[in-house]
Protein backbone atom coordinates (compact mmCIF):
# COMPACT_ATOMS: atom_id res chain seq x y z
CA UNK A 1 0.00 0.00 0.00
CA UNK A 2 1.29 3.46 -0.85
CA UNK A 3 1.07 5.52 2.33
CA UNK A 4 2.15 8.78 0.69
CA UNK A 5 -0.75 11.18 1.11
CA UNK A 6 0.76 14.37 -0.21
CA UNK A 7 3.54 15.71 -2.39
CA UNK A 8 3.89 19.44 -2.78
CA UNK A 9 6.45 21.68 -4.44
CA UNK A 10 6.80 24.90 -2.40
CA UNK A 11 9.42 27.10 -4.01
CA UNK A 12 12.76 25.72 -2.92
CA UNK A 13 11.52 22.43 -1.46
CA UNK A 14 9.53 19.36 -2.48
CA UNK A 15 7.47 18.05 0.41
CA UNK A 16 6.37 14.45 0.94
CA UNK A 17 3.86 13.45 3.63
CA UNK A 18 3.63 9.72 4.40
CA UNK A 19 1.09 8.33 6.85
CA UNK A 20 2.59 6.23 9.65
CA UNK A 21 -0.59 5.34 11.58
CA UNK A 22 -4.25 4.64 10.85
CA UNK A 23 -5.83 7.50 12.81
CA UNK A 24 -2.81 9.71 13.45
CA UNK A 25 0.84 10.09 12.58
CA UNK A 26 2.73 11.12 9.45
CA UNK A 27 6.31 11.61 8.35
CA UNK A 28 7.06 14.97 6.78
CA UNK A 29 10.14 15.12 4.55
CA UNK A 30 11.58 17.53 1.98
CA UNK A 31 12.29 20.46 4.32
CA UNK A 32 15.51 21.66 5.93
CA UNK A 33 14.70 23.09 9.35
CA UNK A 34 18.10 24.79 9.67
CA UNK A 35 16.78 27.20 7.03
CA UNK A 36 13.87 29.64 7.14
CA UNK A 37 10.65 28.22 5.71
CA UNK A 38 8.54 30.10 3.16
CA UNK A 39 4.87 30.84 3.79
CA UNK A 40 3.62 27.96 1.61
CA UNK A 41 5.75 25.44 3.48
CA UNK A 42 4.59 26.79 6.84
CA UNK A 43 0.98 26.45 5.68
CA UNK A 44 1.59 22.88 4.43
CA UNK A 45 3.01 21.96 7.86
CA UNK A 46 0.09 23.57 9.67
CA UNK A 47 -2.49 21.71 7.56
CA UNK A 48 -0.68 18.36 7.92
CA UNK A 49 -0.32 18.95 11.68
CA UNK A 50 -4.07 19.41 12.03
CA UNK A 51 -4.91 16.51 9.73
CA UNK A 52 -2.47 13.87 11.07
CA UNK A 53 -2.03 15.03 14.69
CA UNK A 54 1.63 13.97 14.94
CA UNK A 55 4.25 15.00 12.36
CA UNK A 56 7.76 13.53 12.42
CA UNK A 57 10.62 15.32 10.65
CA UNK A 58 13.56 12.86 10.51
CA UNK A 59 17.23 13.77 10.09
CA UNK A 60 17.03 17.36 11.26
CA UNK A 61 20.29 18.41 12.91
CA UNK A 62 19.00 21.69 14.32
CA UNK A 63 20.04 24.16 17.01
CA UNK A 64 17.85 25.49 19.82
CA UNK A 65 17.47 28.69 17.78
CA UNK A 66 16.26 26.65 14.78
CA UNK A 67 13.72 24.89 17.01
CA UNK A 68 12.45 28.19 18.42
CA UNK A 69 12.21 29.72 14.92
CA UNK A 70 10.18 26.67 13.81
CA UNK A 71 7.80 27.07 16.76
CA UNK A 72 7.30 30.80 16.18
CA UNK A 73 5.93 30.17 12.68
CA UNK A 74 2.79 28.86 14.38
CA UNK A 75 2.35 31.08 17.45
CA UNK A 76 4.09 32.38 20.57
CA UNK A 77 6.37 30.16 22.62
CA UNK A 78 5.20 29.54 26.17
CA UNK A 79 7.38 29.51 29.26
CA UNK A 80 6.52 26.41 31.27
CA UNK A 81 6.22 27.21 34.99
CA UNK A 82 7.79 23.93 36.15
CA UNK A 83 9.98 22.44 33.41
CA UNK A 84 13.74 22.81 33.11
CA UNK A 85 15.12 25.59 30.93
CA UNK A 86 17.89 28.16 31.14
CA UNK A 87 17.56 31.76 32.32
CA UNK A 88 18.86 32.98 28.95
CA UNK A 89 16.26 31.01 27.02
CA UNK A 90 13.23 30.20 29.18
CA UNK A 91 11.11 29.14 26.16
CA UNK A 92 13.46 26.26 25.36
CA UNK A 93 12.89 23.26 27.64
CA UNK A 94 15.73 20.77 27.92
CA UNK A 95 15.08 17.23 29.16
CA UNK A 96 18.39 15.52 29.92
CA UNK A 97 17.43 12.32 31.70
CA UNK A 98 20.17 9.93 32.74
CA UNK A 99 21.50 8.09 35.79
CA UNK A 100 20.67 10.28 38.79
CA UNK A 101 18.12 12.41 36.90
CA UNK A 102 15.12 10.16 36.14
CA UNK A 103 12.24 11.41 33.98
CA UNK A 104 9.15 12.62 35.86
CA UNK A 105 5.44 13.22 35.33
CA UNK A 106 5.39 12.71 31.54
CA UNK A 107 4.34 9.01 31.59
CA UNK A 108 0.67 9.79 32.23
CA UNK A 109 -1.78 10.33 29.36
CA UNK A 110 -2.17 14.07 28.98
CA UNK A 111 -2.55 17.06 26.72
CA UNK A 112 0.13 19.65 27.37
CA UNK A 113 -0.71 22.53 29.69
CA UNK A 114 -4.52 22.36 29.72
CA UNK A 115 -4.25 24.15 33.08
CA UNK A 116 -3.96 27.32 31.00
CA UNK A 117 -7.03 29.32 29.95
CA UNK A 118 -5.62 29.16 26.41
CA UNK A 119 -3.84 25.78 26.13
CA UNK A 120 -1.05 25.46 23.54
CA UNK A 121 -1.90 24.49 19.95
CA UNK A 122 1.17 22.29 19.60
CA UNK A 123 4.43 21.04 21.02
CA UNK A 124 7.66 20.52 19.07
CA UNK A 125 10.13 18.06 20.61
CA UNK A 126 13.52 17.34 19.06
CA UNK A 127 15.65 14.33 19.99
CA UNK A 128 19.36 14.92 20.58
CA UNK A 129 20.43 11.73 22.35
CA UNK A 130 18.16 8.68 22.37
CA UNK A 131 18.54 5.43 24.32
CA UNK A 132 19.59 2.29 22.52
CA UNK A 133 16.15 0.86 23.23
CA UNK A 134 12.98 2.10 24.95
CA UNK A 135 11.93 5.73 25.43
CA UNK A 136 9.11 5.75 22.85
CA UNK A 137 6.28 8.28 23.02
CA UNK A 138 2.70 7.04 22.68
CA UNK A 139 0.02 9.23 21.11
CA UNK A 140 -3.78 8.80 21.05
CA UNK A 141 -6.18 10.40 18.59
CA UNK A 142 -8.90 12.04 20.66
CA UNK A 143 -10.76 12.75 17.41
CA UNK A 144 -10.95 9.02 16.61
CA UNK A 145 -11.89 8.25 20.21
CA UNK A 146 -14.74 10.79 20.04
CA UNK A 147 -15.91 9.27 16.73
CA UNK A 148 -15.91 5.83 18.38
CA UNK A 149 -18.33 6.84 21.15
CA UNK A 150 -21.98 5.82 20.84
CA UNK A 151 -24.33 8.48 19.53
CA UNK A 152 -26.05 8.49 22.91
CA UNK A 153 -22.80 9.20 24.79
CA UNK A 154 -21.76 11.89 22.30
CA UNK A 155 -25.13 13.52 22.86
CA UNK A 156 -24.74 13.30 26.63
CA UNK A 157 -21.27 14.90 26.59
CA UNK A 158 -22.25 17.70 24.19
CA UNK A 159 -22.18 21.08 25.92
CA UNK A 160 -20.59 19.80 29.13
CA UNK A 161 -17.62 21.63 30.62
CA UNK A 162 -14.75 20.32 32.75
CA UNK A 163 -12.46 21.98 35.28
CA UNK A 164 -8.69 21.64 34.71
CA UNK A 165 -5.93 22.62 37.14
CA UNK A 166 -2.20 22.21 37.78
CA UNK A 167 -2.72 18.54 38.68
CA UNK A 168 0.49 16.74 39.66
CA UNK A 169 2.54 19.93 39.58
CA UNK A 170 0.96 20.85 42.93
CA UNK A 171 2.92 17.97 44.42
CA UNK A 172 6.29 19.29 43.29
CA UNK A 173 6.63 21.69 46.20
CA UNK A 174 8.39 20.61 49.41
CA UNK A 175 6.26 20.30 52.53
CA UNK A 176 7.91 23.28 54.23
CA UNK A 177 6.55 26.75 55.05
CA UNK A 178 8.34 28.14 51.99
CA UNK A 179 7.24 25.26 49.77
CA UNK A 180 3.62 25.62 50.85
CA UNK A 181 3.82 29.37 50.14
CA UNK A 182 5.26 28.76 46.67
CA UNK A 183 2.54 26.17 46.03
CA UNK A 184 -0.12 28.71 47.03
CA UNK A 185 1.42 31.36 44.76
CA UNK A 186 1.56 28.93 41.82
CA UNK A 187 -2.12 28.11 42.27
CA UNK A 188 -2.90 31.83 42.51
CA UNK A 189 -1.10 32.39 39.21
CA UNK A 190 -2.75 29.37 37.52
CA UNK A 191 -6.21 29.03 39.05
CA UNK A 192 -8.53 26.25 37.84
CA UNK A 193 -9.93 26.85 34.34
CA UNK A 194 -12.95 25.52 32.47
CA UNK A 195 -12.79 23.87 29.04
CA UNK A 196 -15.49 22.14 26.96
CA UNK A 197 -15.52 18.35 27.27
CA UNK A 198 -16.01 18.18 23.50
CA UNK A 199 -14.04 20.80 21.61
CA UNK A 200 -14.10 21.67 17.92
CA UNK A 201 -10.77 21.82 16.08
CA UNK A 202 -9.92 25.34 14.94
CA UNK A 203 -8.53 24.11 11.58
CA UNK A 204 -10.44 20.93 10.69
CA UNK A 205 -13.72 21.64 12.59
CA UNK A 206 -13.67 18.01 13.77
CA UNK A 207 -15.01 17.18 17.24
CA UNK A 208 -12.51 16.05 19.88
CA UNK A 209 -12.84 14.50 23.35
CA UNK A 210 -10.92 17.03 25.46
CA UNK A 211 -10.40 15.61 28.95
CA UNK A 212 -7.15 14.14 30.25
CA UNK A 213 -6.26 12.35 33.50
CA UNK A 214 -3.33 14.62 34.33
CA UNK A 215 -5.08 17.98 34.46
CA UNK A 216 -8.87 17.42 34.32
CA UNK A 217 -10.40 17.40 37.80
CA UNK A 218 -14.20 17.29 37.44
CA UNK A 219 -17.13 17.78 35.10
CA UNK A 220 -19.11 20.85 36.05
CA UNK A 221 -22.66 20.46 37.28
CA UNK A 222 -22.33 16.84 38.41
CA UNK A 223 -21.93 15.06 41.71
CA UNK A 224 -18.29 14.14 42.33
CA UNK A 225 -18.96 10.38 42.11
CA UNK A 226 -20.84 10.84 38.83
CA UNK A 227 -18.09 13.02 37.39
CA UNK A 228 -15.36 10.61 38.50
CA UNK A 229 -17.14 7.61 37.01
CA UNK A 230 -17.67 9.33 33.66
CA UNK A 231 -14.13 10.69 33.46
CA UNK A 232 -12.66 7.27 34.33
CA UNK A 233 -14.80 5.68 31.63
CA UNK A 234 -13.59 8.27 29.10
CA UNK A 235 -9.95 7.79 30.16
CA UNK A 236 -10.38 4.04 29.63
CA UNK A 237 -11.39 4.78 26.02
CA UNK A 238 -8.00 6.49 25.59
CA UNK A 239 -6.26 3.19 26.34
CA UNK A 240 -7.60 1.35 23.27
CA UNK A 241 -4.60 0.40 21.16
CA UNK A 242 -6.32 0.90 17.82
CA UNK A 243 -6.44 4.67 18.45
CA UNK A 244 -2.72 4.91 19.18
CA UNK A 245 0.44 5.74 17.29
CA UNK A 246 3.63 4.77 19.12
CA UNK A 247 6.58 6.87 18.04
CA UNK A 248 10.07 5.39 18.04
CA UNK A 249 12.71 8.09 18.18
CA UNK A 250 15.88 8.35 16.17
CA UNK A 251 18.53 10.99 16.95
CA UNK A 252 17.83 14.41 15.42
CA UNK A 253 14.15 13.85 14.83
CA UNK A 254 11.67 16.67 15.36
CA UNK A 255 8.12 15.67 16.28
CA UNK A 256 5.44 18.35 16.16
CA UNK A 257 2.13 17.27 17.69
CA UNK A 258 -1.28 18.88 17.80
CA UNK A 259 -2.46 19.53 21.36
CA UNK A 260 -6.01 20.05 20.14
CA UNK A 261 -6.45 16.52 18.88
CA UNK A 262 -3.92 14.19 20.55
CA UNK A 263 -2.97 13.06 24.02
CA UNK A 264 0.45 11.59 24.66
CA UNK A 265 2.36 9.62 27.24
CA UNK A 266 6.15 9.15 27.35
CA UNK A 267 7.53 5.74 28.26
CA UNK A 268 10.09 5.87 31.05
CA UNK A 269 11.30 2.32 30.44
CA UNK A 270 14.72 3.45 29.14
CA UNK A 271 16.03 4.81 32.46
CA UNK A 272 18.92 4.91 33.43
CA UNK A 273 20.00 5.12 29.78
CA UNK A 274 20.41 8.71 28.64
CA UNK A 275 17.70 10.51 26.68
CA UNK A 276 18.14 14.18 25.82
CA UNK A 277 15.44 16.21 24.13
CA UNK A 278 14.70 19.89 23.45
CA UNK A 279 11.16 21.24 23.40
CA UNK A 280 9.18 24.35 22.60
CA UNK A 281 5.46 24.74 23.22
CA UNK A 282 3.41 26.92 20.91
CA UNK A 283 0.43 29.00 21.94
CA UNK A 284 -1.93 30.93 19.68
CA UNK A 285 -3.91 32.43 22.55
CA UNK A 286 -7.07 30.56 21.55
CA UNK A 287 -9.60 29.29 24.06
CA UNK A 288 -10.99 25.85 23.11
CA UNK A 289 -14.34 26.15 21.32
CA UNK A 290 -17.08 23.82 22.48
CA UNK A 291 -19.30 21.73 20.21
CA UNK A 292 -22.43 23.35 21.65
CA UNK A 293 -23.35 26.14 24.05
CA UNK A 294 -22.58 25.21 27.65
CA UNK A 295 -25.35 23.07 29.09
CA UNK A 296 -28.08 25.01 30.87
CA UNK A 297 -29.10 23.24 34.11
CA UNK A 298 -32.73 24.31 33.62
CA UNK A 299 -32.81 22.70 30.18
CA UNK A 300 -31.15 19.54 31.48
CA UNK A 301 -33.87 19.15 34.11
CA UNK A 302 -36.52 19.12 31.39
CA UNK A 303 -34.65 16.49 29.40
CA UNK A 304 -36.64 13.31 28.83
CA UNK A 305 -34.97 10.01 27.94
CA UNK A 306 -36.49 8.43 24.78
CA UNK A 307 -37.22 4.68 24.89
CA UNK A 308 -33.99 2.69 24.78
CA UNK A 309 -35.15 0.73 21.71
CA UNK A 310 -34.95 3.98 19.72
CA UNK A 311 -31.17 3.63 19.86
CA UNK A 312 -30.67 0.11 18.56
CA UNK A 313 -28.64 1.39 15.61
CA UNK A 314 -26.56 3.89 17.56
CA UNK A 315 -24.77 1.70 20.06
CA UNK A 316 -21.01 2.14 20.30
CA UNK A 317 -19.24 1.05 17.11
CA UNK A 318 -15.63 -0.05 17.01
CA UNK A 319 -13.46 0.41 13.95
CA UNK A 320 -14.17 -3.13 12.71
CA UNK A 321 -17.97 -2.63 13.03
CA UNK A 322 -18.11 0.33 10.68
For binding to Fe ion (CB under 5 A), which residues are involved? Answer: 112
Q: Residue 106 CB, nearest distance to Fe ion (Å)?
A: 5
Active site residues: 110, 112, 264, 279
Q: Which residue is nearest to Fe ion (CB)?
A: 112
Nearer Cβ to Fe ion (120/290): 120
Choice between 50 and 124, CB closer to Fe ion: 124
Shortest distance, position 237 Cβ to Fe ion, whole Å: 19
Nearer to Fe ion, 71 or 290 (CB): 71
Minimum CB–partner distance for residue 257 and Fe ion (Å): 9
* Closer residue to Fe ion, CB minimum distance, 112 or 258: 112
Shortest Cβ 105–Fe ion spacing (Å) = 9
Instruction: Spell out the SS3 assignment of the chain.
Output: CCCEEEEEEECCEEEEEEECCCCCCEEEECCCCCCCCCHHHHHHHHHHHHHHCEEEECCCCCCHHHHHHHHHCCCEECCCCCCCECCCCCCCEEEEEECCECCCCCCCCECCCCCCCCCCCEEEEEEEECCCCCCCEEEEEHHHHHHHCCHHHHHHHCCCEEEECCHHHHHHCCCCHHHHHHHHHHHHHCCCEEEECEEECCCCCCEEECCCCCCEEEECCCCHHHHHHHHHHHHHHHCCHHHEEEECCCCCCEEEEECCCEEEEECCCCCCCCEEEEEEEEECCCCCEECCCCCCHHHHHCCCCCCHHHHHHHCCCCHHHC
Amino acid sequence: MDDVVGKTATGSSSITIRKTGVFLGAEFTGVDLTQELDANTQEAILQAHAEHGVLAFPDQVISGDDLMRFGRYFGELTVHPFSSSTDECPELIIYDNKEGNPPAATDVWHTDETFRECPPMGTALCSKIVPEYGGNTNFASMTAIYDGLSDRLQQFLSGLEAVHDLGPFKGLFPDTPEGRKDNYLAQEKYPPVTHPVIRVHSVTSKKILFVNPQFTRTIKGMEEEESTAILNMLYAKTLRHEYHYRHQWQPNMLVFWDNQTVQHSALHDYYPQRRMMERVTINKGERPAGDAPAADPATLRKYLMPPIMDFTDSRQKRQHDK
